[in-house]
Amino acid sequence: MRVLLIKPETVGIFAYTYLVDHEPLEMEYLYTVLKNRGHEAYIYDRRHELTPLKSKLKHFAPDVVCITGYITQEKLMIKLARLIKRFNKSITVIIGGSHAEINYENFFNSSADYIYHLSGLNSFVKLIDYISNTGTTPLDEIPGICYREKGEWRANKKVVESPEDLSPIDRTYFNKNKNRYRYLTFHPLALVKNSYSCNNSCTFCYCTNRNSGKYACRKVEDLVNEIMETDAPNIHITDDNFLIDREYLKEFIELIREKKINKKYLIYGRADFIAENKDIMRELKDIGLSLVMVGLEARSDDELDSYNKKATLKHNEECVKILEELGIICAGLFIVHQDMTVKDFRELYTWIAQRAIIPTISIFTPMQGAADYSRFKDNLLTDDPKKQDLFHCILKPKHMSVRRFYFEYYKLSVKLAWLRRKTPLYSCINISSFLFIINVFLIKFRRIFIL
């Protein structure tokens, strides 16, 4: 059976830069399990491959097409499914990914035959076996899928899974295209998936609700072996929070040293753990930890409490101090919310500017699937999923107009970017970066006429 794996083009501000560009890890896992089952699979990454969809369908002639994507790509995924069915209605279309896992009902109006709403791939294998007539599991007994029965959608129950069940990944695609993938100066960059869900409960994030809200991670030895076998100098461990357990991290550090692995690591971590575990952070630095994306979010305890961060401003202060002392880049993540005043924007700028932080500023966005979505959903200025990219104001500001809010947001972001323009992390930004942006504009213009 021939299976086409579609990674849709990026939607939003990051569509115009290659400075942050990740490998299609989810598609590589699908490619791996399909290959292991004897199927022919092809990764069609529309972020980079310009072959029109119709041409790809004509020349590859797939029996099945799998489409994945994030919340901002919802409409595009639905459009792609419709165009595939228009080209050949006998092609089986499966929609999946993190957004479909949480909000699968959003795709009930699509042309898809199946919607996959699990984190792992055990049920995906059963579904592929069912489609290819080689399986023994009836459709109604395959967990985590949606399908039509007598014209109505039926959603099979979810199950809790573990990433330990994932097959060792085939990185053939990455190895052929590794020069595409980077996080600013960290290039080439490979992704390593180590866990499902998150053991925290921040109200603005729906990641904690993945895998039925149950956190699960791989054995340390499996993680380290994959890192060792991955041909890339920079590794981004994609856990929503890698800094969870001291004993796990100690074992990780010991194995990295034992196997003499020399790479740089990018991770997500929490300020409270960093503040309370300086010794572990020093050991991680010694084995290559280079950058921590840490959710500092705000500059007051009241704001942090409103997000259910279960961390304090004191934790934030100590976290930044420790990372600076150890020489680890603090990529601080902050949220500006619609209750802020002009003075609040100014004070946030001052707080960040006085500390060793490379900031990313997001606009508070009630994400569908997050804990606080139900609280705000009736007051949204738009329900367009493309606007749920953390860069749009979709709630009415309390103390200013929407236009003024955008002005203050972009002024804050630009001032901070200018302030940090000479940091080594941004050394990759040069004239060629802007020439690439022009090229991306031309590509997107072409997409208007040739999908």
Residue 205: its pLDDT value, please?
Answer: 85
Relative to beta strand 195-196, strand 216-217 is antiparallel
Torsion, CA 13, CA 16, CA 17, CA 23, rounded to 10: 80
What rounded mean pLDDT belongs to the chain?
A: 93
Distance CA 129, CA 311 (A): 46
Question: What does residue 265 show for φ and ψ, rounded to 5 degrees?
Answer: -125, 140
Angle, alpha carbons 195-199-203 (nearest 5°): 120
Taken in order 420, 422, 427, 433, is the CA torsion positive or negative? positive
pLDDT < 70 stretches in the chain: 12-17, 430-451
Strands 289-297 and 264-269: parallel
DSSP class of 186: B
pLDDT value at residue 444: 54
> What pLDDT shows up at residue 372?
85
Supply the DSSP string of 53-75, one letter for each residue.
HHHHHHHH--SEEEEE--GGGHH
Q: What's phi and psi for 235, nearest 5 deg?
A: -125, 125
Say how far apart CA 49 and CA 413 lie, in whole Å: 32
Nearest CA among 161, 73, 81 for reference residue 115? 81
Per-residue model confidence (pLDDT) at position 22: 94
